[in-house]
Amino acid sequence: MFPPLVRLGLGSAVLLAGAAAAGAAPVAPAALVPALDVYVDALASGHAGALACAGVWPASKADEAGWQQAGAILVATLWANDFPIDFVRTAAQRLEAPPAATKPDCAHPDPAFAGELGWPSQVGWVEVVEQGLKGMDLKVVSSPVAPATWTSIKGMVAKVLPQQERLLDCVAVMYPETLPQTVHDWDAMIGKARAALLAAGLPRDEVNATMSNAEANQLWHRAAANAEAELRDSCRQDKAVAASLANFGLLGLGSEINKLLPQAADGGD
């Protein structure tokens, strides 16, 4: 067993602080940034120490798969809980940076460094990070979306937009009485998809940019009066438009996005 100070590591210290604040009003993310700034550095230091000391200090072990997953959980949770964009991006960079060339004293670790090594060695990096996040009453994203999946989602959205633009153009000149509802239904789907992407812990600035560009008023603008007749004739001959109208437009995009996301992020209680 580790002595008490060693066992009070990167996760349990935050748990104790969180327990003291149980039932209190939520703390604004910005107020936690200075403390999290220190915490991120401690995580990075502990990881570097685990790599350096695995062959020297028996309590230390290198758990790279756990470290990668824990880092993804931390970053996704910060995104999902509305932490400042610049802070989340710099935190991710620090966690991903290669360890410093300077090697720690593995044979005689000071108490703080021993804590950084000891707690992850006992429970693993994922448990350390999740306990720390829950201690701050944050909604933990325990199954982060892989970068490749986010790239696929952005590609899906980009592929659909020209089709939706065409559909809105045609509805406006063929069935103008249904245009407001068509715009409403599309934007409601985009709004739900945006909320799901944000809750999944994807980069907030990227999500907002992608989904804002997909809103109906970004895609569609009323045609000039002298161009409406020609547009109407074109739309009537367009089989793709007819197929979309028969299948309630392109609202299936939201369902396709949801299929690629975890069902729900874990709560922080």
Instruction: Judge whether 139 lies within some domain.
Output: no
Instruction: Judge whether 265 lies within some domain.
Output: no
Q: How confident is the model at residue 117, as a pLDDT?
A: 60
> pLDDT, tens digit, for every residue of 141-171?
999 999 999 999 999 999 999 999 999 999 9
Q: Which of 117, 134, 130, 127 is nearest to 3 (CA)?
A: 117
Q: How far apart are CA 187 and CA 211, in angstroms?
A: 10
Same domain? For 154 and 97 the reply is no
Q: How confident is the model at residue 58, as a pLDDT?
A: 56
Instruction: Judge whether 266 lies within some domain.
Output: no
> pLDDT, tens digit, for every residue of 170-190?
999 999 999 999 999 999 999
The residue among 25 and 132 whose pLDDT is bigger is: 132
Same domain? For 251 and 153 the reply is yes
Counts for the chain of helices (H) and strands (E), in that order: 14, 0
The tally of domains found in the chain comes to 2
Same domain? For 73 and 127 the reply is yes
Range of the domain at 219: 147-259
Q: How far apart are CA 164 and CA 148, in angstroms?
A: 25
Instruction: Judge whether 237 lies within some domain.
Output: yes
Distance in angstroms between the alpha carbons of the first and the last residue of the chain: 28
Same domain? For 128 and 151 the reply is no
Task: Name the domain boundary from 101, 134, 167.
Answer: 134
Q: How confident is the model at residue 13, as a pLDDT?
A: 46
Same domain? For 13 and 114 the reply is yes
Same domain? For 46 and 12 the reply is yes
Instruction: Judge whether 267 lies within some domain.
Output: no
The residue among 225 and 265 whose pLDDT is bigger is: 225
Task: Name the domain boundary from 134, 160, 191.
Answer: 134
Same domain? For 162 and 229 the reply is yes
Phi, psi of 109 (to 5 degrees): -70, 140
> pLDDT, tens digit, for every residue of 29-87?
999 999 999 999 988 888 888 888 777 765 556 678 889 999 999 999 999 999 999 99
Q: How far apart are CA 268 and CA 249, in angstroms?
A: 38
Q: How confident is the model at residue 81, as a pLDDT?
A: 96
Give 176's DSSP letter. G
Same domain? For 115 and 64 the reply is yes
Distance of CA 142 to the CA centre of its chain: 11
pLDDT at 95 over 70: yes
Do the beta carbons of residue 268 and residue 133 sit within 8 Å?
Answer: yes
Instruction: Judge whether 191 lies within some domain.
Output: yes
Same domain? For 125 and 151 the reply is no
